[in-house]
Amino acid sequence: MKYVIHNQVVLARAPEGPLAAYLVAFANALGAQGYSVERLKVQVRIAARFSQWLKQRGVGARDIRFDHTILYLRYRIRHVRGQSCVNDRAALRHLIDFLRSEGVIAVEKAATRRVPPAEICAQAYAEYLRDAQALVAVTIINYVPFVRDFLHYCFGDGKVTLSRLRAADVVGFVQLNAPRLHLKRAKLMTTALRSFLRYVRSRGDVTLDLAAAVPVVANWSMPSIPRAISADQTRQLLASIDRHTAVGRRNYAILLLLARLGLRSGEVAFLELDDIDWGSGQLNVRGKSGQRNELPLPADVGKAIAGYLQNGRPPSASRRVFLSARAPITGFGPNGVGSLVRRSLQRAGIDAPTTGAHQFRHGLATQMLNHGASISEIGGVLGHRCPQTTKIYCKVDIKALRTLALPWPGGVR
């Protein structure tokens, strides 16, 4: 007798074992995450076989542990001939996650391990930045790895005795690491060190003003021309996108946001449905440090987003505008936007200045400058709070200008 689990998911017989009562809810959860019917069938059938195996070994629902999935996979490999077990591992991981989320089984505690003293000190500093300084998560994520590396450089895996720190330790660490880093990363490293050393001095762990010992990284004002994608390359890229598919409509809308509004990859990734005011044609963008920027929504960008929302975006409870195309359906991440740009450029055969998303931001600013926009106007569109940040786009490419120079009358002298 056949047993219907979820719409088109049918088992040859009624499920057995401790998980039989949870298979329908498991199937519904997979369906809500956007899995196709075929993938859903495979995962439910694997869960049913696992439940039957648990019954044979007398394991109750509350006694299930992740180790049981490992034992089951070994059993399948040894005893099941002529059937592939390639999907079992992922399906069982999804099943265990579902059972934990439903409270059927307890979350297992990870094996305790010795946390290095340097890591404990770095995490205490992170809590200080978050709770006392109220810094945004991105800043903390950028600062803490440098501090962790500094502590490891000074103390290794041993005890962290901050009172033993000396100026030579600070200078040695910067001299070792600065040459390996991009200029901006090197400056970020020294900023993080000064912050940390002021923090430990305020706590009384050190008495010396070691923050003053942090070397200054040489800062040549705007050393290079911004790498901007050209207007022709942008048009070629947008024309190469197949907008007859759901993925194509999504990618086109993302690339158009980058090109027409100069948004950062994170600003595109974290854009939510409520950030779009269709009535007034406004876009509310979350910029750096949490600030909000209201930007006009160009007609072509709005049309592209609407096309994706109506005929491309998968059904989901997520409020993010752009979602992954494959299950589990989740919101885009900043790295995902960068990967999308890289793949799109490769498919279009475009030899762009870089493979990242930031070149569209440079490209928009350069085009605005060429059309006579002021520094303040460009900064307003890009969300710059400091005019100095925008001035990088006023730099002149001397090598390119030489090709436009008129010959000196009478020839070279």
User: Catalytic residues, which ones?
Assistant: 264, 288, 358, 361, 384, 393
C-alpha distances out from residue 7 to 47, 346, 373, Å: 17, 40, 58
Q: Which two tokens stand for residue 309?
A: 């929302």
* Residue bearing tokens 């996650």: 97
Cβ atoms 295, 271 nearer than 8 A = no
DSSP structural state of residue 323: B
Strand, coil or helix: what is 331?
Answer: strand
Residue 283 phi/psi, 5° resolution?
-125, 125
C-alpha distances out from residue 104 to 61, 96, 245, Å: 7, 9, 40
Q: Tell me the C-alpha distance between 363 and 340, whole Å.
A: 18
Q: Which two tokens stand for residue 186?
A: 């090197």
DSSP code string of 5-34: EETTEEESS---STTGGGHHHHHHHHHHTT
Question: Angle at which helices 358-370 and 231-240 pack, to 10 degrees?
Answer: 130
| Helices and strands (H, E) in the chain, number of each type | 17, 5
Tell me the torsion sign for CA atoms 194, 195, 199, 202.
Answer: positive
Cβ atoms 226, 392 nearer than 8 A = yes
* Residue bearing tokens 């940040």: 389
User: Left (φ > 0), alpha (ψ -120 to 50) or beta: where does 33 sit?
Assistant: alpha
